[in-house]
Amino acid sequence: MIVCLAVVGHQNNPLYIQSFTEADDALKLHHIVHCSLDVVDERVNNPKKSGPTINEAFLGLLYPTENYKVYGYLTNTKVKFILVTTDLDVRDADVRNFFRRFHAAYVDAVTNPFHVPGKKITSKIFAERVSTMVKSFGLSPAS
């Protein structure tokens, strides 16, 4: 299950961060997302390590913590998507697919003429769309 999704701007400022858990762990997830930016930076700056997927927006597993797996995705505008999940056996393909759809949702949200680039994404439709995507992500491995 996805516990947290975040959009981080190209100056590493949080644009959207949403946790999908009941518990009051917003702070922890903030920390995890914030920390994973270091790894994103590292991946981006040392493309050697990331190997053949150099032109790939999907950054793969950023780092595993005790209970979570953190995946990253970097758009061409240096906006980062961070996904924190508790599923310890997630297939990369699923995550990649999820990120693609999330990217589409993000693009739709920021193409709103009332959205100010570099400011937080406040669109309700975006939030709804994301939450349905998150729900369906939990189901997709079962199907």
Partner 1 sequence: MADPANTKLGRMLLDEITPVVMVLRTPLVEESCRKNGLSLIEMLAPYSNFNNIDVPVRTASDQPYRLRKFKLRLFYDSEIRQPNIEAAKERLKQVITRAGDKDFSDQCSDPPDIESLVATSQQEFVPSWFQNFNKELVDAVSFSEHEAFDHPVACLVAVSSKDKDPIGKFVDLFNTNQLPSLLNDGAMDPKILKYFLLVHDNQDGELEKATGVLTAMRSTFGANDCRLLCINSSADGMEEHQENPWASYKNIASNSKQLGCFLNVDDIEELRNTMHDLSSKHIIPHMELKIRVLNQQVSATRKGFRNQIKNLWWRKGKDDAPENPNGPMYTFSSTESQIRVLGDYAFMLRDYELALSNYRLISTDYKLDKAWKHYAGVQEMMGLAYFMLDQSRKDAEYCMENAFTTYLKIGSSGGRNVTRCGIWWAEMLKARGQFKDAAGVYFRISGEEPLHSAVMLEQASYCFLSSTPTMLRKYGFHLVLSGDLYKKSDQIKHAIRTYRGALSVFKGTTWNHIRDHVHFHIGKWYAFLGMFDEAIKHILEVLACGHQSKATQELFLWDFFRIVQETGKTFEVFRLQLPVINFPSIKIVFEDHRTYASPSAAIVRESLWQSLEGDMIPSLSAMKTNWLDSKVLPKKYKESNVCVAGEAIKVDISFRNPLQIPVSISNVSLICKHSAEYDETESDAIGSLTECHNDKELRTISVSGDFSLDTSLFTLSEVDISMQGGETMLVQLTVTPKIEGTLKLVGVRWKLSASVIGICNFHSDIIRKKVAKGKRKLKQVKDNLQFLVIKSLPRLEGVVDDLPKTVYAGELRRLTLELRNPSKISVKNLKMRISHPRFLNIAAQEVMNSEFPTCLRKQENSSQSCTQMDAAKAANSVFVFPETTANSWETPLKWPLWFRAAAAGSISLYMTIYYEMEDASSVITYRTLRMHYNLEVLPSLEVSLQTSPCPSRLQEFLVRMDVVNRTSSESFLVHQLSCVGDQWELALLRPIDSAVSFELLMAGQAMSCFFKLKYGRRQGSTEEKISSLATSGRADVRLVDSDSGGLFDTSISPFDLFHHYERLHQERHEQGSDGVGIMGHGSTVDFILIFESQRESNAGLPSTTEVFSHHKCHCKIASNSPIWWLMDGPRTVRHDFSAAFCEINLSMTVYNSSEDVVSVRISTLDSTSAINSASVSGNEVGWHDTSHLSEIKVTSDVMGTRFGKALSPESVSPFIWSGSSSTRFNLEPLSSVVVPLQISVFSPGTFDLSNYSLHWNLVTSCDGGDDDEHGSRVSSGTCQGHSYHITVLQKE
Q: How many Cβ atoms sit within 10 Å of the Cβ of residue 102? A: 21
Give least dist CB 66 to partner 1, A. Answer: 11
The binding site for partner 1 (CB under 8 A) comprises 12-14, 26-27, 30-31, 34-35, 37-38, 41-42, 45
Contacts of 107 (CB under 8 A, 6+ apart): none
- Considering the complex, state which of residue 23 and residue 142 has its C-beta at the smaller distance from partner 1: 23
Beta strand segments in 20-136, E: 58-64, 69-74, 80-85
**Burial track 79-90 (b if 16+ CB lie within 10 A, e otherwise):** bbbbbbbebeeb
**Burial track 107-131 (b if 16+ CB lie within 10 A, e otherwise):** eebbeeeebeeeeebebeebeebbe
- Considering the complex, state which of residue 12 and residue 112 has its C-beta at the smaller distance from partner 1: 12
Give least dist CB 141 to partner 1, A. Answer: 30
Give least dist CB 6 to partner 1, A. Answer: 11
Distance CA 84, CA 6 (A): 9
- Considering the complex, state which of residue 12 and residue 86 has its C-beta at the smaller distance from partner 1: 12
Give least dist CB 78 to partner 1, A. Answer: 16
- Considering the complex, state which of residue 14 and residue 60 has its C-beta at the smaller distance from partner 1: 14
